[in-house]
Structure 1
Amino acid sequence: MALTNAQFDEIMHTYEEMRSLHRQELEERKRSVYESIPGYKELEDKSSTISVDFGKRLLSGERLDRSILRHQLAELARQKKLLLIESGFSDDYLDMGYSCPHCKDTGYIGNEKCHCFKQKIIEKLYDRSNLKEMAKTANFKLVNEKYYQGDDLQRFRGALKTAELFVNSFNSDYQNLFIYGTVGVGKSFLSTCVANELLKKGHSVIYFSSSGLFELLAENSFDYKNKQELRGIYDDIYNCELLIIDDLGTERTNSFVSSELFACLNERDLRKKSTIINTNLSLEEVQIIYSDRIFSRVASNYKLLKLSGPDIRKIKKIAIKESEDFQ
């Protein structure tokens, strides 16, 4: 599935905005340093002056030892860092900041698209997943055990430990997770925590609701004009480093869905690409609603994580309403 020119331009514009923002931040930090550290700007100006003078002398024909200039600049840099540290700043306080240090907010490493660019393509093409917004309120730092007790708490702790191990060993171990349980017990939250961590590590992640995934495939499968588009969609779904299918069972199940689900799970397993499935269905219901071969894939290739407990979403909504009523 290819980007349109407009979509490509939108992505490149976000990189321009990032670079502009970081340049502004750097200029503000420089002003702060110049105002609070006497002598710092003089050292910086001296670095520029000796470099310019050295270049002029080379252009005039003088034969100069470049190591002398390198030594002078290194000594000035040492003095500047010392001044920063003595004044309570970090020694890299005036280094340029980047949202992505790998490509320095250009989107490219050499002639290759950076992992951050590839993820922006995914987000642009599959914006119905809304993963970026979800990740703002779901990460491991926000985990709260207060909604669980007894066996529910033990299950949650076990699932959390497995999810963290999934992230930490992602580069070395091929794993899949099947997270099941009743409504509102934290299945989507846990899978989004995983997605958030892997995105920060530079991995490609596609997050779909089950209904959204099969609607997208159906839209393009039954229109002969979209065969090229469909190949691109399959390529993305089969090859992204992590695919998350949320709320399996909420889609309108039929032979097309069962066939596509099996193809997806089978292809990703063959390619050793990790998948996480969330569902409110029990294992028995999965076997009944779909097929034995899908159930067999899940049972043999996925770590099964059962979550139980109260409907956390419902509890939070009630708490918010009570707070509003109280005000």
Structure 2
Amino acid sequence: MALTNAQYDAIMHEYEERRSLHRQELEDRQRYVYDNVPGYKELEDAIATTSVNFGKRLLSGERLDRSALKKEIAELSRQKLTLLTEAGFSSDYLDMGYTCQDCQDTGYIGNEKCHCFKQKIIEALYDKSNLKIMTKSANFKLLTDKYYTGEDLKRFQGAVRTSEDFVKNFNSDYQNLFFYGTVGTGKSFLSICVANELLKKGHSVIYFSSLGLFTMLSEYAFDYKAKQELHDIYEDLYNCELLIIDDLGTERVNSFVLSEFFSCINERDIRKKSTIITTNLSLEDLQAIYSDRIVSRIVSNYKLLKLTGPDIRKLKKIAKKESEDLQ
């Protein structure tokens, strides 16, 4: 399911709006400096005048030393920078700002799509996954350990530290996470917290519930029309920087699911693309339900993070109802 022309145009329009906004912000900063740093505007005008006069003399046939022009402009620029910093501004105060420094808000690095453009494609194509909605209510700032005690608390705090390190080292350290344990203990929440942070850094993230993932793969494999529509999604499963498979074990397990699941995690491992899996299954259940080679891949290539404790979703519902009853 490639982008439609309308979707592509909408993305490019957003980049143009970004550039326009940053240009306006730069112009506002320039006006502020002109009004508040005496002599700065005059130096800037002097650079422009010097360059224009040099060009006119070249066009008139004079043989001039370009290095002299460079030295003069360099000295004027140095004086500008001195005025700027002595007035309390940072040396890069009048540099152009960009939302994405890598592509400078063009969407492309050379002829290749930037990682931020790829994420916008994913957002357009996978809008039904509700990842954007989920990240609004799941981030590290909203985490609380008040529902955990004893060993449950230690496990939760350890899982949070590991998740934060996963984000911090994402660019340099290939890792996979496997959250497992009892129902309602924050496994999915933590995975979305990670997704939220990586999305903000411009990384490509795809989220699927386990049931949704294998339903899509089944349609791709057995429905010819769907295969054409789902081709790009299928490819992105292997190429996105982070894939989240949520609630493993809710799908109907059969030979097709086992084969596709192994293919997915194995191929992503070969390509060094990170994956996060969450499940309510115990490791014993995992061993009983899935093939040995799947379990072997997970145990050897994923950080296993067990979360236990009360069902937090249930506790929150009870607390909300009690609060409403008191009103």
Task: Specify the TM-score bucket, using the shorter chain as the normaliser.
Answer: 0.7 to 0.9
Query: Quick check: 1:19–1:105 contact (8 Å CA) kept in 2?
Result: yes
* The 10-residue stretch of structure 1 (137-146 or 108-117) with the greater mean CA deviation from structure 2: 137-146
1:267 and 2:271 are equivalent in the alignment: no
The aligned amino acid for 2:99 is S
Query: Quick check: 1:221–1:230 contact (8 Å CA) kept in 2?
Result: no
Q: Output the CA distance in 2 between the equivalents of 1:278 and 1:113.
A: 31
Q: Name the structure 2 match of 1:284.
A: 284
Q: CA RMSD in A?
A: 2.8
Seq. identity, %: 76
Query: Quick check: 2:219–2:227 contact (8 Å CA) kept in 1?
Result: no
SS of residue paired to 1:304: strand
* The 10-residue stretch of structure 1 (138-147 or 157-166) with the greater mean CA deviation from structure 2: 138-147
SS of residue paired to 1:104: coil
SS of residue paired to 1:281: coil
SS of residue paired to 2:46: helix
Alignment of 1:171-320 (within 5 A): 171-199=171-199, 202-313=202-313
* The 10-residue stretch of structure 1 (69-78 or 213-222) with the greater mean CA deviation from structure 2: 213-222
Q: 1:38 to 1:326 in 2, by over 3 A?
A: farther
Q: 1:32 to 1:267 in 2, by over 3 A?
A: same
* The 10-residue stretch of structure 1 (169-178 or 80-89) with the greater mean CA deviation from structure 2: 169-178
Query: Quick check: 2:220–2:231 contact (8 Å CA) kept in 1?
Result: no
Q: Name the structure 1 match of 2:126.
A: 126
Q: Name the structure 1 match of 2:116.
A: 116
SS of residue paired to 2:211: helix
Q: Output the CA distance in 2 between the equivalents of 1:321 and 1:88.
A: 54
Shift of 1:93: 1.1
The aligned amino acid for 1:71 is K
Q: Can you list the C-alpha shifts for 1:243-264, whole angstroms capped at 9, x where unaligned? A: 1112223445555434322221
Alignment of 1:7-26 (within 5 A): 7-26=7-26
Shift of 1:62: 1.7
Q: 1:230 to 1:54 in 2, by over 3 A?
A: same
Aligned residues: 327
* The 10-residue stretch of structure 1 (142-151 or 63-72) with the greater mean CA deviation from structure 2: 142-151
* The 10-residue stretch of structure 1 (235-244 or 211-220) with the greater mean CA deviation from structure 2: 211-220
Q: Can you list the C-alpha shifts for 1:135-187, whole angstroms capped at 9, x where unaligned? A: 45544455444443321221122222322333444445442211113344322
Q: Output the CA distance in 2 between the equivalents of 1:237 and 1:268.
A: 8
Q: Output the CA distance in 2 between the equivalents of 1:296 and 1:254.
A: 18
SS of residue paired to 1:278: strand
Query: Quick check: 1:184–1:313 contact (8 Å CA) kept in 2?
Result: yes
Shift of 1:326: 7.8
1:83 and 2:103 are equivalent in the alignment: no
Unpaired runs of 5+ residues, structure 1, are: none
* The 10-residue stretch of structure 1 (197-206 or 1-10) with the greater mean CA deviation from structure 2: 197-206
Q: 1:72 to 1:320 in 2, by over 3 A?
A: farther
TM-score normalized by the length of structure 2: 0.86
Q: Output the CA distance in 2 between the equivalents of 1:153 and 1:91.
A: 46
TM-score normalized by the length of structure 1: 0.86
